[in-house]
Amino acid sequence: MVFPPPPTSAIDWSNVGFKVREVNGHVETTYSVHTKQWTPLRFVADPFLRIHGMAPGLNYGQQCYEGLKAMRTPDNKQINIFRPDQNAKRMQDSARFVAMPTVPEDVFLKAVDMAVGRNAEFVPPHETGAGMYVRPLLFGSSAQLGLSPPEEYTFVVFVMPTGVYHGVHPVDCLLLENFDRAAPEGTGSAKIGGNYAPVLIHSEAARNAGYNITLHVDSQTRTYIDEFSTSGFLAIKYSPEGKTKLVISDSKNIIRSVTASSVEQIAKDIGWETERRLIRFEECAEFDEVMAAGTAASLVPVKSITRKSTDTKYQYKYGDENPEGFLTLLNTLKGIQFGKLEDKHGWRFEV
Ligand code: COI
């Protein structure tokens, strides 16, 4: 049989959206503290997991997750996963925060490859610009009442075809002022559910008030930008001499965005100046463009940032009067991801 199969005709590819869709199945493996081994990978059709209700993954939030993407090349005949090695490493860092065994990089890569490969007909057609979202998840899975690490852990990889999370148009952002996402010496840099669930009530309220995306500042001084609730913070500044600078938030309490670091490398490759540093919130007044960067978000331009307590609204223009640096970065990033541009840094992993 020729691999990959063409995209399934069961999905309306003109309207993929960002939602859960049922596919052929997911990959599972478990780890026991007694054997110190991961079981051979299993491909399971049923999307429901069978785990004990007292699993610490459910009760104490002992879990971490990842997000990465797979895309088809222009002839639709090859599928590449974008930088899965980086997600493997980041998941190892997250696991250590919540006392879980790390998934070895080769197990992670094989599981992701199997999940994408066995669901290949659900990888969207190249021309749609959409990708297959890959969601690896690791959690404490054996029954455990006391607050100590359990004996068994489960690692699963789910996949689903998706468009981009915040859409493709510039978004309005609200700074969250009455909620601290990350404690100064806490777990802000870990991709754990505990950094996402507490945000929901605030991001829902913001959405209802007309803001598509929410932003966090550091909780100790409320001075420096941390990240968006869903993605990393990047900004562009043009100098009168015609130079372009990309500035990336470098707080120690943010999740190390693979998309942001890819965009940083792209900016360097095209001769822009780059700075990875703490960013004062007020600097938003000086930036020409602001972007959110993440696997699900891709690269989304921000058209305004509101801070209600000081009645501040920073606005950014995209279109004719602006060079739209974000588009240069986005087109290059997508060009590499979708196999249209040279993969100078070895970012594409063929399925
Ligand atoms: C991702 O971009 O992969 C994420 O995990 C963000 C999530 C809120 C969809």
Co-location of 136 and 184 in the same domain: no
Block residue for tokens 């992670």: 108
Residue 1 lies in a domain: no
pLDDT given at position 250: 92
- Segment 306-317 shows an average pLDDT of 95
pLDDT given at position 347: 98
Any bridge partners for residue 69, and if so which?
133
Confidence bin at 168 (pLDDT 50/70/90): confident
Here the tokens at position 198 are 């507490």
DSSP state of 63: E
Co-location of 75 and 112 in the same domain: yes
Co-location of 116 and 192 in the same domain: no
Residue 267 lies in a domain: yes
Co-location of 137 and 186 in the same domain: no
Centre of ligand 1 from the C-alpha of residue 231, in Å: 7
Residue 343 lies in a domain: no
pLDDT given at position 284: 97
Co-location of 131 and 180 in the same domain: no
Shortest-distance atom of ligand 1 to CA 18? 9
Shortest-distance atom of ligand 1 to CA 67? 3
Residue-wise pLDDT for 44-66, tens only, equals 999 999 999 999 999 999 999 99
Q: How many CB atoms lie within 10 A of CB 321?
A: 7
H/E element, 86: helix 84-97
Residue 14 lies in a domain: no
Characterize 235-258 residue by residue with b for buried, 16 or more Cβ atoms within 10 angstroms of its Cβ, and e for exposed: bbbeeeeeebbbbbbbbebbbebb
Domain boundary among 164, 188, 211: 164
Q: Is the CB of 296 under 6 A from ligand 1?
A: yes
Q: Identify the CATH number of the domain in which residue 85 sits.
A: 3.30.470.10
Residue 325 lies in a domain: yes
Here the tokens at position 292 are 């959110």
- Using CA positions, which residue lies closest to atom 5 of ligand 1? 67
Domain with 188 in it: 171-338
Residue 299 lies in a domain: yes
Characterize 26-43 residue by residue with b for buried, 16 or more Cβ atoms within 10 angstroms of its Cβ, and e for exposed: bbbbbbeeeeeebeebeb
- Choose among 263, 296, 54: nearest CA to 196: 296
Residue-wise pLDDT for 59-96, tens only, equals 999 999 999 999 999 999 999 999 999 999 999 999 99
Give the C-alpha distances (Å, rounded to integers) separating 160 from 125, 289, 311, 338, 344. Answer: 13, 31, 41, 17, 28
What's the total number of domains in the chain?
2
Q: ipTM of the assembly?
A: 0.96
pLDDT given at position 164: 81
Residue 322 has pLDDT above 70, yes or no: no
Centre of ligand 1 from the C-alpha of residue 151, in Å: 28
Residue 20 lies in a domain: no
Contact 230, 165 (CB under 8 A): yes
Domain boundary among 106, 133, 164: 164
Residue 320 has pLDDT above 70, yes or no: no
- Using CA positions, which residue lies closest to atom 7 of ligand 1? 230
pLDDT given at position 178: 92
Co-location of 200 and 324 in the same domain: yes
Q: What rounded mean pLDDT belongs to the chain?
A: 95
Cis peptide leading into 4, omega within 30 of 0?
A: yes
Q: Identify the CATH number of the domain in which residue 219 sits.
A: 3.20.10.10
- Using CA positions, which residue lies closest to atom 8 of ligand 1? 230
Please list the alpha-helical segments (H only) found in 152-302: 200-208, 258-269
- Choose among 77, 129, 165, 109: nearest CA to 337: 129
Contact 261, 250 (CB under 8 A): no
Q: What's the first-to-final CA gap in the chain, in angstroms?
A: 15
Co-location of 303 and 212 in the same domain: yes
Co-location of 83 and 154 in the same domain: yes
Confidence bin at 134 (pLDDT 50/70/90): very high
Co-location of 307 and 212 in the same domain: yes
Residue 321 has pLDDT above 80, yes or no: no
Domain boundary among 164, 193, 214: 164
Give the C-alpha distances (Å, rounded to integers) separating 102 from 55, 107, 209, 260. Answer: 18, 10, 40, 24
- Please tell me the pTM assigned to this model: 0.95
Pocket test for ligand 1, best of 295, 298, 333, 337 (most atoms within 8 A of CB): 295
Residue 123 has pLDDT above 70, yes or no: yes
Pocket test for ligand 1, best of 231, 257, 263, 333 (most atoms within 8 A of CB): 231
3-state helix, strand, coil in the chain (%, to 5): 25, 30, 45
Residue-wise pLDDT for 239-277, tens only, equals 999 899 999 999 999 999 999 999 999 999 999 999 999
pLDDT given at position 324: 85
Centre of ligand 1 from the C-alpha of residue 65, in Å: 9
Angle CA(328)–CA(334)–CA(335) in degrees, nearest 5? Answer: 85
Pocket test for ligand 1, best of 165, 166, 191, 254 (most atoms within 8 A of CB): 165
Co-location of 222 and 312 in the same domain: yes
Q: Is the CB of 295 under 6 A from ligand 1?
A: yes
Co-location of 211 and 292 in the same domain: yes
Residue 241 lies in a domain: yes
CB under 8 Å to 186, separation ≥6 — which residues?
Answer: 253
Co-location of 319 and 193 in the same domain: yes
